Amino acid sequence: MFILPILVIIEMISYLSRPVTLSVRLFANMLAGHTMLKVLGGFVVIMGFGGVLPLSLLVGITALEFLIAFLQAYVFAVLSCIYLNDALHMH
């Protein structure tokens, strides 16, 4: 009985912080990919006609970025549905 008020506060913070942590994770993944594409794009521009290798890496990483974007959107949607289900149907 003595721990109950502290436990309620901890659980409330946990439920309220989940959307924030999901958003930060999604933002960090997108920012890292876009930064890598920007750097490789700069290499292609600087190297001119000799930038075939960075250009091929850029195309491959762009395809990987699409895959990661779909995967992140799927994970974000599934976790959001799970958390909403937990919030609406407590035990």
- pLDDT, tens digit, 9 for 90 and up, residues 8-59: 999 889 888 887 887 888 788 888 888 888 888 888 888 877 778 878 888 8
- The widest CA-to-CA distance across the chain, in whole angstroms, is 73
Q: Is the C-alpha dihedral spanning 21, 26, 28, 31 positive or negative? A: negative
Tell me the domain boundaries of the chain.
18-88
CB atoms within 10 A of CB 40: 21
Determine the Cα–Cα distance for residues 59 and 84; give it in Å rounded to an integer.
38
User: Could you tell me the pTM of the whole model?
Assistant: 0.58
Q: How far apart (Å, rounded) are the C-alpha atoms in residues 31 and 36? A: 9
Kindly report the number of other CB atoms within 10 A of residue 63's CB atom.
10
Give the pLDDT confidence score for residue 91 in this predicted structure: 65
